[in-house]
Amino acid sequence: MDAVLLSRLQFAVATFFHFLFVPLTLGLSILTAIYETIYVRTGDEEYKRMAKFWGRLFLINFALGIVTGITLEFQFGTNWSRYSEYVGDIFGSLLATEATVAFFLESTFIAVWHFGWRRLSPRAHCVTIWLVAIASNVSALWILLANGWMQHPVGYVIKNGRAELASFAAVVTNPFGWLEFLHTVSGAYILSGFFVMGVSAYHLLRRRNISFFTRSFRVALAFALVFSLLEVVEGHIHGAEVARTQPAKLAAMESLWDTQARAPMALFLIPSPGRERNLVEVGRIPGLLSLLAYSDSGAVVKGLKDFPRDERPPVTITFLAFRLMVGLGILFVLLLVAGWFLRNRLVESSRYLRIMLWAIPLPYLALELGWTVAEVGRQPWIVYGLMKTSDAVSPISPGQVGVSLVAFILLYGFLGLVDFYLLAKYARKGPEPAPVETN
pLDDT tens figures, 326-359: 889 999 999 999 999 988 888 888 899 999 999 9
Helix residue ranges, H only, 343-380: 350-358, 361-376
For 160: left if phi > 0, alpha if psi spans -120 to 50, otherwise beta; the answer is: left
- How many Å apart are CA 19 and CA 367, to the nearest integer? 8
DSSP state at residue 119: T
What parts of the chain have a pLDDT lower than 70? 1, 67-70, 77, 267-284, 435-439
CB atoms within 10 A of CB 277: 13
Longest dimension (CA), the chain: 81
- Cα(236)–Cα(292) distance, integer angstroms: 7
Q: What is the pLDDT of residue 252?
A: 87
The DSSP H or E segment spanning 268 is: strand 268-271
Q: What is residue 432's DSSP assignment?
A: P
CB-count exposure of residue 275 (10 Å: 0-12, 13-18, 19+): exposed
Q: How far apart are CA 237 and CA 239, in angstroms?
A: 5
4 close to 393: Cβ distance less than 8 angstroms: yes
Query: What per-residue confidence (pLDDT) applies to 270?
Result: 58
Res 439: pLDDT: 46
Residue 204 has a pLDDT of 92
